[in-house]
């Protein structure tokens, strides 16, 4: 199946393109390279032996985006990753986030209608749950007021998708609420490429271990958790990528129960920051220089997924464990 992947040279996008090829699909990439590099295409080629059609196009430009559909007739599904994703930056530059993320999804839906693509997979986030009252968190948990413009764009995009799909009976969507994606492809030919100082935990850990950063700061050790540090559900990026293939195939084979469905994509296991540090040291044999600092504003204390709906209904399950995943992140770091 011909599948358009926006943000296909990005972190999750590139891993998904690889999995699409391995599942026998024909991905086409649209990316404006605002947070990725064209050389990612070489990594995809190195793993799959396939040169994927690539369009350096910004999906907020409706005309340019539409021209990709003209050039690539027969696109059936879209996996939409292209979006700005830095929580802190979104607080400083809210308009950039609302413009990029909302115009992007509007144009994706507009082109799906115009050019007859029927299935959409949308990258949503567990951030929509805020600090859930019950753990593990299910898809039925209430959506909490967003803590950042970034989080708000995910909530608004979900609403835009729901309204558009209910107004048009040819459209279908699956929204995947990701927990914390980490790791890299086992080949170490693709992985995460954070620009500047990483904001996320694992790239900061690997860069500290590599001597690029002096010291990792653990943001708070006085949370109400067994060791005092925050707990997240860290999901291997290749496992996460595979969920997108399941989602597309579910829509195309008419197995959806509703025209819009939501799935939590996580492991179901919560891991603390201290546990990450310990496992990383253990797996790599590298001693991490770290210190405890104050809490980071806006951080959730603890969240992990109930992924049973994705397990049972989507036929998807996280397979890789934390040790293997941290080893892949380190292998990738050492190739950079
Ligand atoms: C955040 C966003 C999420 C977004 C994701 C990817 C929220 C609530 N979550 O996840 O929506 O999809 O980023 O951009 O806004 N930590 C440290 N030291 C560091 C970095 C992180 O201790 O140097 C800790 C954090 O306090 C947190 C954990 O590591 O407990 C994970 O942090 P991070 O990787 O930034 O992801 P989230 O904040 O969970």
Proportion of the chain above pLDDT 90, given as a percent: 97
* Mean pLDDT, residues 34-55: 97
| Model pLDDT for residues 110-163, shown as the tens digit of each residue | 999 999 999 999 999 999 999 999 999 999 999 999 989 999 999 999 999 999
Dihedral of alpha carbons 58, 59, 62, 67, sign? positive
Please pick, among 150, 178, 204, 223, the residue that the annotation labels catalytic.
Answer: 150
Residue 234 designated active-site: no
Strand partners, 37: none
| Model pLDDT for residues 279-288, shown as the tens digit of each residue | 999 999 999 9
All residues at 6 or more sequence positions from 211 whose CB lies less than 8 Å from its CB, including other chains:
none
Tokens for 238? 């290749």
User: Distance of alpha carbon 197 from its chain centroid, rounded?
Assistant: 19
Measuring from each residue's beta carbon to the nearest atom of ligand 1, which residues come in under 6 Å? 85, 87, 125, 127, 148, 151, 180, 199-201, 204, 216-219, 230, 232, 273, 296, 298-300
- The secondary element (H helix, E strand) that includes residue 54 is strand 54-55
| Model pLDDT for residues 229-265, shown as the tens digit of each residue | 999 999 999 999 999 999 999 999 999 999 999 999 9
> Which residue's CA is the closest to the ligand 1 atom numbered 19?
201
Q: Residue 207 — φ and ψ, nearest 5°?
A: -70, -35
The mean pLDDT of the chain is 97
Measured from the Cβ of residue 89, the count of other Cβ atoms closer than 10 Å reads: 16
| Model pLDDT for residues 63-107, shown as the tens digit of each residue | 999 999 999 999 999 999 999 999 989 999 999 999 999 999 999
């Amino acid at each position: 199946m011909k599948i358009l992947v926006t943000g296909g040279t990005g972190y999750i996008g590139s891993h998904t393109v690889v999995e699409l090829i391995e599942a026998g699909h024909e991905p086409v990439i649209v990316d404006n390279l605002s947070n990725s590099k064209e050389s990612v295409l070489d990594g995809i080629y190195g793993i799959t032996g396939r040169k994927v059609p690539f369009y350096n196009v910004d999906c907020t430009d409706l005309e340019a985006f539409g021209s990709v559909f003209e050039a690539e007739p027969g696109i059936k599904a879209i996996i939409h990753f292209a979006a700005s994703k830095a929580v802190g930056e979104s607080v400083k530059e809210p308009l950039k986030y609302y413009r990029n993320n909302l115009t992007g999804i509007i144009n994706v839906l507009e082109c799906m209608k115009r050019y007859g693509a029927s299935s959409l997979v949308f990258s949503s986030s567990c951030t929509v749950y805020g600090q859930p009252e019950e753990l593990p968190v299910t898809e039925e948990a209430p959506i909490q007021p967003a803590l950042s413009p970034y989080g708000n764009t995910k909530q608004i995009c979900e609403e835009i998708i729901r309204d558009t799909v209910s107004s048009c009976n040819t459209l279908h969507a699956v929204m995947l609420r990701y927990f914390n994606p980490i790791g890299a492809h086992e080949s170490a030919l693709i992985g995460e490429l954070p620009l500047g100082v990483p904001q996320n935990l694992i790239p900061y850990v690997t860069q500290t271990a590599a001597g690029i950063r002096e010291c990792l700061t653990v943001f708070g050790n006085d949370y109400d958790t067994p060791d005092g540090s925050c707990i997240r559900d860290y999901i291997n990026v290749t496992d996460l990528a595979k969920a997108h293939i399941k989602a597309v195939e579910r829509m195309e084979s008419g197995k959806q129960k509703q025209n819009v469905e939501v799935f939590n994509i996580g492991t179901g296991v919560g891991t603390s920051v201290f546990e990450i540090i310990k496992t990383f040291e253990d797996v790599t044999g590298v001693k991490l220089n770290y210190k405890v600092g104050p809490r980071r504003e806006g951080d959730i204390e603890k969240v992990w997924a109930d992924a049973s709906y994705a397990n049972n209904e989507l036929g998807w399950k996280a397979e890789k464990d934390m040790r293997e995943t941290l080893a892949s992140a380190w292998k990738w770091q050492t190739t950079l």
